[in-house]
A and B are shown apart, each in its own frame.
Chain A
Amino acid sequence: MLYREAGQFITHYRADQRLFRLRQDRIGFYLLLASAFVLVPNCGNDYWFSAILIPFLVLSLAGMGLNFLTGYAGQLSLGSAAFMAVGAFSAYNFNLRVEGLPFLLSILLGGVVAGLTGVIFGLPSLKIKGFYVLVSTLAAQFFVQWVFTNFAWFSNDSSSGVITAPPLDVFGLDLSSPAGRYLLTLTIVTALGLLAANIVRSELGRNWMAVRDMDTAAAVIGIAIPKTKLLAFAISSFYLGIAGSLWAFTYLGTVEPHGFDINRSFQILFIIIIGGMGSILGNFLGAAFIVLFPVLMSHIANGLLVGVIDSGHLENFQKIVFGMLIIGFLIKEPNGLASIWRTFTQQLRVWPLRY
């Protein structure tokens, strides 16, 4: 009744091309942004900022990175964590070695370095297809981890390759409190999220989807495959690199190369499977699920099964449920939580009628 397009006439191309064409969607989005920027910092507590909201935002950003590559361009990757590591360690080194480099600029440069690394490991994808691309991303995963563990230069000769966050100074503001770190992360993720939503609607995004659906056909209609694939690797790794910096500096504070191991790559892959491949909203839903699911499970275990189940069993049980959820999603809802949301809004449009 309330949520429908009746009476909203589009008379300009610009209005036709907006991100949210429905006025109700726009209002909802602005309200969401306003509450995230104003309401939450004022009434959230430190636990929520540090343990839930910041990892949620960072993982959403990482999911976006992988989604460009896997969900849009159709290149399977198990090396996401490697590009996060490259981003984090380059940002750390830029900040350390270039005197007076602003914090934001070093994160950005870290992302650029990660993007270039992505292009290098994306080169084999020009000749090979399908599962064979996995090997190239796995090579990235193990090689990058080895480099950061073995060469102490990258972590300024600290023991076991640990890097520590530089002071979080942005335009003279000290953002090292939990709320400050939350706002910093939120700002970056919002900006990059809007950019992402526009990239996938642009010519580039459409080329990615054409390559994903059938690259031979895409080549036949004149899409430059090498450029499209390499840009997918570059932009994907750029996003992952920024996410890596944020993971290291605003979420954890200190991080070692081992923190970006292959399990992190799996985690990010699960975000996009559960959230939805080929959807920007899906990354946020998937990341929320990944962050909240273990919290929920341990609450249930503590509330219902006190003493029956110990933490080792709980972890195994979590693994089993997780695996089942992934298979369940792939069978019942291959486009993830995002597609459930789409169905819901479609039904809301015609409610209370049936069609």
Chain B
Amino acid sequence: MSFFFEVLVGGLLAGVMYSLVAIGFVLIYKASGVFNFAQGSMVLFSALTFVSLLERSYPFWLAFVLTLLIMLVLAWAIERWVLRKLVNRSPITLFMATLGLSYIIEGLAQSLWGAQVHGLDLGINDEPFEVLGLLLSQFDLFASAVAGSLVIILSLFFNKTRTGIALRAVADDPLAALAVGINLQRLWLIVWGVAGFVGLVAGLLWGARLGVQFSLSLVVLKALPVLIIGGFTSITGCIVGGLIIGASEKLAEIFIGPYLGGGIENWFPYVLAMLFLLVRPAGLFGERQIERV
């Protein structure tokens, strides 16, 4: 039984890592209705930039600030040359534009910093230790603490600051928001910048776990079922969805996998998300859309 709980807790903690990527999606989807496929490549780009700066012997904090600035410039460029030109187009068009964007960012990241795998050491001991008879990874606990504080910061930001309230207004009704004088372009810039920041945090944690390499951009695909289960518009949903996906994927791999020949981790989250959709078409915390003709 303790083995079961160990797998469960390990899965839950791994799920938090998925949530981190998913939060970046939700931020952008909430504010601009764009399903940003390029979030994964933003994770890759930020982690690669950060590591390369570290390797050029910049101190940790300076590398972090510089990377953040670069992500802001990237957000500005995206707003200026992509989003602004595609205002009022269908969501599918915007989605495909972000697909193109992910190609550009991936190509850019690799031609700037090279394609080799970089190690990243955040100075956190990854030795497992024992709590209540369960083996836990210190790194995973750190990741969950980071994710938890991110959620708290972001919800404070959305609920208490002027900008946050403006963002919620835009998400609610862009036209009405424009009518009361909210500057849409500035808000998009902010939200893409914040998503870049979340991407950087996710990139650092994932990079420390897997090494900074091209496959980081593929975590975007794992974040999709998390979004589906949590709903596209809820940050809380991200965390809950991440926990569900992380736990069920590990449990399925360990307890069902052997009967099916193993490797079911790759598709299990999607099938789970599909089954979820049949019961709750808008996810756990998503907003139900009412359609009018």
Interface residues of A (CB under 8 A from B): 70, 74, 76, 124, 127-132, 134-136, 138-139, 142-143, 145-146, 149-151, 214, 216-217, 220, 262, 266, 269, 273, 312-313, 316-320, 322-327, 330-331, 334
A76 to B95, alpha carbons, bound, how many Å? Answer: 10
A322 to B102, alpha carbons, bound, how many Å? Answer: 11
Which of A142, A151, A324, A326 sits near B267, CB closer than 8 Å? A142
Contact, CB under 8 Å: A262 / B96: no
Q: Which of B101, B103, B267 counts the most A-chain CB atoms under 10 A from its CB? A: B103
Cβ-closest 10 pairs across A and B: A323-B103, A326-B100, A319-B107, A139-B270, A323-B104, A320-B107, A142-B267, A316-B111, A323-B100, A143-B267
**Which B-chain residue is minimally distant from A321 (CB atoms)?**
B107
From known contacts A138-B224, A139-B270, infer whether A132 and B277 are also in contact, taking CB-CB under 8 Å: yes
Interchain nearest-CB distance for B226 vs A (Å): 10
A61 to B247, alpha carbons, bound, how many Å? Answer: 41
Interchain nearest-CB distance for B96 vs A (Å): 6
Interface bits B254-282 vs A (CB < 8 Å: 1, else 0): 00000011111011001101100110010
Contact, CB under 8 Å: B101 / A139: no
Contact, CB under 8 Å: B100 / A324: yes
CB under 8 Å from chain A, chain B span 227-272: 228, 232, 260-264, 266-267, 270-271
| B115 adjacent to chain A (CB < 8 Å) | yes
Which of A127, A317, A325 sits near B107, CB closer than 8 Å? A317
Report the stretch among B5-13, B86-94, B138-146, B169-177 that lies at the interface: B86-94
Q: Which residues of B contact A322 (CB under 8 A)?
A: 100, 103, 107
Interchain nearest-CB distance for A324 vs B (Å): 6
A151 to B102, alpha carbons, bound, how many Å? Answer: 33
A322 to B99, alpha carbons, bound, how many Å? Answer: 11
Contact, CB under 8 Å: B274 / A135: yes
Q: Which residues of A contact B278 (CB under 8 A)?
A: 124, 127
| B192 adjacent to chain A (CB < 8 Å) | no
Contact, CB under 8 Å: B293 / A216: yes
We find that the number of chain B residues with CB closer than 8 angstroms to chain A is 47
| B291 adjacent to chain A (CB < 8 Å) | yes
From known contacts A131-B91, A135-B274, infer whether A146 and B267 are also in contact, taking CB-CB under 8 Å: yes
A334 to B221, alpha carbons, bound, how many Å? Answer: 26
**Which A-chain residue is minimally distant from B264 (CB atoms)?**
A146
Contact, CB under 8 Å: A76 / B264: no
Interchain nearest-CB distance for A134 vs B (Å): 7
A142 to B263, alpha carbons, bound, how many Å? Answer: 11
22 contacts between A and B (CB under 8 A): A74-B92, A138-B224, A139-B273, A139-B274, A142-B267, A143-B271, A146-B263, A146-B266, A150-B260, A217-B293, A262-B221, A269-B96, A316-B111, A317-B107, A317-B111, A319-B106, A323-B102, A323-B107, A324-B104, A326-B103, A327-B104, A331-B85
From known contacts A326-B97, A331-B85, infer whether A131 and B103 are also in contact, taking CB-CB under 8 Å: no
Contact, CB under 8 Å: B277 / A127: yes
A151 to B260, alpha carbons, bound, how many Å? Answer: 9
Interchain nearest-CB distance for B86 vs A (Å): 6
Contact, CB under 8 Å: B277 / A135: yes
Which of B81, B106, B281 sits near A132, CB closer than 8 Å? B281
Contact, CB under 8 Å: B293 / A132: no
**Which B-chain residue is minimally distant from A150 (CB atoms)?**
B261
From known contacts A127-B277, A269-B99, A334-B93, infer whether A135 and B225 are also in contact, taking CB-CB under 8 Å: yes
Q: Which residues of B contact A129 (CB under 8 A)?
A: 281
Contact, CB under 8 Å: B86 / A330: yes
Contact, CB under 8 Å: A124 / B274: yes
Contact, CB under 8 Å: A319 / B291: no
From known contacts A316-B111, A327-B101, infer whether A127 and B281 are also in contact, taking CB-CB under 8 Å: yes
A326 to B270, alpha carbons, bound, how many Å? Answer: 27
A324 to B77, alpha carbons, bound, how many Å? Answer: 13
A319 to B115, alpha carbons, bound, how many Å? Answer: 14
From known contacts A138-B221, A138-B270, A334-B93, infer whether A150 and B262 are also in contact, taking CB-CB under 8 Å: yes
Contact, CB under 8 Å: B100 / A131: no
A142 to B273, alpha carbons, bound, how many Å? Answer: 13
Contact, CB under 8 Å: A134 / B224: yes
Contact, CB under 8 Å: A150 / B263: yes
A24 to B102, alpha carbons, bound, how many Å? Answer: 43
Contact, CB under 8 Å: B273 / A131: no
Interchain nearest-CB distance for A144 vs B (Å): 9
**Which A-chain residue is minimally distant from B112 (CB atoms)?**
A316
